[in-house]
Amino acid sequence: MELVVALGLIVFKVALLIAILLLLPLPLTWLERKIAGHMQQRMGPMRVGWHGLLQPVADGVKLLTKEDHIPAEADRFLFKLAPILALAPPFVVFVAVPFGESVSVLGTEITLYVSNMNVALLFVFAVIGIEVYGVIFGGWAANSKYAVLGSLRTCAQMISYEIPMGFAVIGVVMLAQSMSLLDIVRAQANVWNIVYQPVGFFVFFVAGLAESQRIPFDLAEAEGDLGAGFHTEYSGIRFAFFMVSEYAIMLLTSVLAVILFFGGWNGVLVPLPPLVWFGLKVAFFVYVFIWFRFTFPRYRYDQLMAIGWKVLLPLSMANIIITGVAFL
């Protein structure tokens, strides 16, 4: 009986997580377009629903009813596989991400995470590494020069930025003496990691921007010079998969930044429920992502590489060394 309840709980949590992650891009696209509009003294979507609130639904219907076109010269198998490969990893990663300690419902303690892995951080980085295959396959299979260029750029970008990103979080792991995200948050109950690891956070955030392919590092898409980059040839629902994946990764980067450097669900000064604190912090980071997108231009490809290898990598290594010395 207990096993059934436990199993049911896990299934329920996973279903809830998937539902939230699939539905969250809807308000996020609306928010992004609204913020973009107001930053450019426009209004953003206004016509569908109150202040355009139903615009994402209209967009979704449009994407679902559009022709799902596969180019004649495309590698059909990889072309169909790529959106799934891009979409799945961000969802899988959230299995290891905690959203709080636990809440008691009807007398039973329900933990706010699907699983508490002791190597959660490693799992996150390992799985998110797979995401690059979706982009590479997508660009390659489309058999179009823009798509191939976009995916080649992404390939180099993702691989070079995963290294500083991985090094940047080592400082956090050293502070918490654990790779479990739950323990990392617990270790920040008094002082957030951002106080000890400002450089680590900087490297992590910049690398995170690059990993989620947002401006100023969105060379994979680069509307200006590549059409739409790796998803130039995608349409309809497969394009929607790539978009959902982009938003899920943006969300994941925000969640990781909050968990690793901003104390997770630990609040300061204002006593709010932990989940609210967590949501507020994540919302702030999502806003920062959107804010950056409509402020900065895109980096050139060689600048991108220079930042990754000549600035972020030495910085993250120095961060590890300094943290280690401080520990001794």
Partner 1 sequence: MSRALDRTGIWIGWAFFADLANALALTFGYMFSRPVTMQYPDKEKWLPYSRYRGHHFLKRDEEGEIKCVACELCARICPCDCIEVIPYEDEKGNRRPAKFEIDMARCLFCGLCEDACPADAIALGQQYEFSSFSSSDLVIGRDDLLGKPGKAMTGGGVVAAHLNTEQDVLVETSEPQGYNWWRNIRRT
Does the bond joining 98 to the residue before it have cis omega, within 30 degrees of 0?
A: no
Listed ranges 18-26, 42-50, 235-243, 255-263: which one lies at the site for partner 1 (CB under 8 A): 42-50
Dist. CA 205–CA 254, nearest whole Å: 9
Which is nearer to partner 1, 284 or 292 (by Cβ)? 292
For residues 22 to 41, the per-residue mask of contacts with partner 1, x marking binding by CB under 8 A and - elsewhere, is: -------------x-xxxxx
Site string for partner 1, 266-295 (x = CB under 8 A): -------------------------xx-xx
Query: To the nearest whole angstrom, how small is the minimum distance from the Cβ of residue 17 to partner 1?
Result: 32
Q: Looking at the chain, how many residues does it have?
A: 328
* Min separation Cβ 38 and partner 1, Å: 5
Q: What DSSP letter does each residue of 109-120 carry, written as one string?
A: EEESSS---TTH
Judged by CB under 8 A, does residue 49 bind partner 1? no
Nearer to partner 1, 37 or 71 (CB): 37
Q: How far is the CB of 288 from partner 1 (least distance, A)?
A: 9
Burial class (CB in 10 A: 0-12, 13-18, 19+), 70: middle
Q: How far is the CB of 135 from partner 1 (least distance, A)?
A: 27
**Smaller CB distance to partner 1: residue 77 or 296?**
296
Contact 155, 304 (CB under 8 A): no
| Cβ(30)–Cβ(56) below 8 Å | yes
| Using rule CB under 8 A, residue 306 touches partner 1 | no
Choice from 42, 69, 300, 310 touching partner 1 (CB under 8 A)? 42
Question: In this complex, which beta carbon is closest to partner 1, that of residue 31 or of residue 156?
Answer: 31
82, 81, 91: which is closest to 150 by C-alpha? 82
The stretches of the chain forming alpha helices (DSSP H) are 2-23, 25-39, 55-65, 76-93, 120-141, 145-168, 170-176, 181-187, 193-196, 198-211, 223-226, 236-261, 274-293, 301-306, 313-327
State the sign of the Cα–Cα–Cα–Cα dihedral 28, 31, 35, 37.
Answer: positive
Residue closer to partner 1 (CB basis): 287 or 309: 287
User: Among 289, 290, 285, which residue's Cα sits nearest to residue 264?
Assistant: 285
Tell me whether residue 14 or residue 39 sits nearer to partner 1 (CB atom): 39
Q: Smallest gap, in angstroms, from Cβ of residue 295 to partner 1? A: 4
Asked if 227 and 312 touch (Cβ cutoff 8 Å), the reply is no
Using CB under 8 A, count the residues that bind partner 1.
Answer: 15
CB 183 to partner 1: min, Å:
32
Whole-number minimum distance, CB 52 to partner 1, in Å? 11
Q: Which is nearer to partner 1, 86 or 313 (CB)?
A: 313
One DSSP character per residue, 277-323 reads: HHHHHHHHHHHHHHHHHTTPPPPPHHHHHHIIIIIIHHHHHHHHHHH
The contact pattern for partner 1, residues 214-243, with x = CB under 8 A and - = no contact, is ------------------------------
Closer to partner 1 at the Cβ: 116 or 295? 295
Chain residues binding partner 1 by CB under 8 A are 35, 37-43, 46-47, 291-292, 294-296
